[in-house]
Amino acid sequence: MDKPKVLFLCTGNSARSQMAEAFLREYASDRFEVFSAGLEPKDIHPLAIQVMKEKGISMEGQYSKPLSIFMGKANFDWLITVCDNADKKCPFFPGMGSRLHWPFEDPAKFVGPEQEKLEKFRSIRDAIEIKIKEWLDEFDLLHSVFD
């Protein structure tokens, strides 16, 4: 049986969606195929990579991608937008299943000293991890009821 596919989407695919992809892969790669993309992709932010390493999670092999590489070419069971801009601007496309919106602040837009930027990335990383774990718990509960 094919694993359900999840696509995390944000504007730049440089931090939030990349961290969400890495967490879901870490916690449930045996159960889901996980992808991320951006409406206006930029390189992965170095602080996103750093704070994920602090959790023992490598983002090796991940790279920033445009949404267009998936449109009309892949079917997703879930499209999860992780920023308000992507939620507003993301078109509906064939093959898109359930759509969820998890709004997270963009840590890359934070202005301040380097240590405070790092703290902002950690804060957003931790919020994303909590949301991923909650979603997995909800998914498991729902499927245990209907199985």
- Contact indicator for 46, 2 with CB cutoff of 8 Å: no
Could you tell me the two tokens for 21?
Answer: 């992809």
- Contact indicator for 37, 17 with CB cutoff of 8 Å: yes
Q: How many Å apart are CA 95 and CA 114, to the nearest integer? A: 41
- The amino acid at residue 49 is I
Catalytic annotation, pick one of 19, 34, 90, 108: 90
Q: Is 56 left (phi over 0), alpha (psi -120 to 50) or beta?
A: left
Q: Is 119 annotated in the active site? A: no
Catalytic annotation, pick one of 10, 28, 51, 108: 10
Closest CA to 74 of 102, 56, 46, 93: 93
Catalytic annotation, pick one of 83, 96, 128, 132: 83
Q: Which strand (E) or helix (H) includes residue 100?
A: strand 96-101
Q: Is 90 annotated in the active site? A: yes
6 CA to centre of own chain: 9
Q: Is 121 annotated in the active site? A: no
Residues with catalytic roles? 10, 83, 90
